Amino acid sequence: MQYTLMLWHADHVNFGRLLAVLESELARLHDARAPEYQLMLDILYYIEHYADALHHPKEDLVFARIAARDADAAGLVAALARQHADLRAMSEALQRELNDVMNGSIVSRARIADPGRAYVDALRKHVYTEETRILPLADRLLTDADWEEIDAETANFEDPVFGVQTQERYAALRQRINRAMQEPRAARQS
């Protein structure tokens, strides 16, 4: 498997970790407990900005090459590209609601919980489709030269949450993810 595909898969694993944290915060809303609204905003901001800056541009280049080489995959590729726009719109709407809460507005729990759960479900389905259908196609259809061109055409930078140096904005998020990853290990060791 190409290095770019491994990074793409790693991004998906990391998105899953973020969605688990977001889902736990949404559950707090459901249980009438106070969620960490800033943490939720940080998750959405990261997914939106990291994905738009690095993840999606590479995907779009891969999608185009897959569609050009496999006519049967063109519909799937087009649907996934549309989902990128839909997911961004869902994220932006949820971020507006969360910002309203952070700025002191009274917002019903449902105005955050319902679109939040819809976003989590939509992103998980999207990632699942990419993992099970697109990554195998990309691995089969793209050549080493394709991967070199894709890598040359897209930006590369350190992941602000999962990279070697976590950006200050995401320090609390990274700590939360680390704790969540350690909890199952601690339970197994007991």
pLDDT digits (tens, 9 = 90+) for 29-47: 888 888 999 999 999 999 9
DSSP 97-111: HHHHHHTT----THH
pTM assigned to the model: 0.89
pLDDT of residue 114: 95
* CA atoms of 137 and 114, how far apart (whole Å): 34
Contacts of residue 117, defined as CB under 8 A and 6 or more positions apart, other chains included, come to 23, 26
pLDDT of residue 54: 79
Q: In sequence order, which ranges of the chain are alpha helices (DSSP H)?
A: 3-30, 37-50, 56-69, 74-102, 110-129, 135-141, 144-153, 171-189
Counting every residue, how long is the chain? 190
CATH number of the domain residue 58 falls in:
1.20.120.520
For the chain, percent of residues with pLDDT exceeding 90: 63
- The answer to whether the Cα torsion of 119, 86, 129, 56 is positive or negative is negative
Domain span holding position 43: 3-189
Number of domains the chain contains? 1
pLDDT of residue 151: 85
pLDDT of residue 187: 55
Residue ranges of the chain with per-residue pLDDT less than 70: 1, 184-190
